[in-house]
Amino acid sequence: MGAFSDVVGLALIARQQVRDLSDRGHKFHNWVNPFPPDMAGACGIVSLHIMNMAFKRGLHPSFVRGDYDFSGHCWIEYYGHIIDATATQFIASAKPVHIVRNFATKNNPIYRKNSFRKVSSETDIEEIEQSLSNWMTYLPELKKLAL
């Protein structure tokens, strides 16, 4: 399960890179800047950044948009697990990367999918980025860090 550990490691890196850029004044969107310590509002950009870094390393997790409890949220899924690098916005005691075995979506009482996208090309990442562009920007500075 080396690839799974790699994706979890990338999630930690992505979270920290977004945190660092936010703390230095880079704006990802207009309504939360900088991101608060619990990373509220950062789920889309962090998840997209994880996807981009994973893809560049030949790994293909799925990007998910849905709800955490009753709040809009984004996370990634890989090998039957939810990997949530911003769960701290909902669970104060969560680790920086919260991992949950993904039950069938309709049976998961907390994480509910609205849509998901497996990334198999650069075009997929661009389409995810475009779908999120109404409320966030994947900064060029962050894209460079994905290499």
Structure confidence by residue, pLDDT tens digits, 110-134: 787 777 777 778 888 888 888 888 7
Low-confidence ranges of the chain (pLDDT < 50): none
Please tell me the predicted confidence (pLDDT) of residue 3. Answer: 94
At residue 14, the pLDDT reads 96
Q: How far apart are CA 52 and CA 81, in angstroms?
A: 18
Query: What pLDDT was estimated at residue 86?
Result: 95
Tally the domains of the chain: 1
- Would you state the pLDDT for residue 29? 76
pTM exceeding 0.85: yes
Which amino acid is located at 40 in the chain?
A
* Residue 54 confidence (pLDDT): 94
Supply the pLDDT for residue 7: 97
Task: State the CB neighbour count (10 A cutoff) for residue 11.
Answer: 28
Tell me how far apart the alpha carbons of residues 41 and 78 are, in angstroms, rounded to a whole number: 22
Instruction: Provide the domain limits for residue 22.
Output: 2-145
Whole-number pLDDT of residue 47: 94
pLDDT for 107: 57
Residue 108: predicted pLDDT: 64
At 120 the pLDDT is 76
Beta partners for residue 115, in sequence order: 65
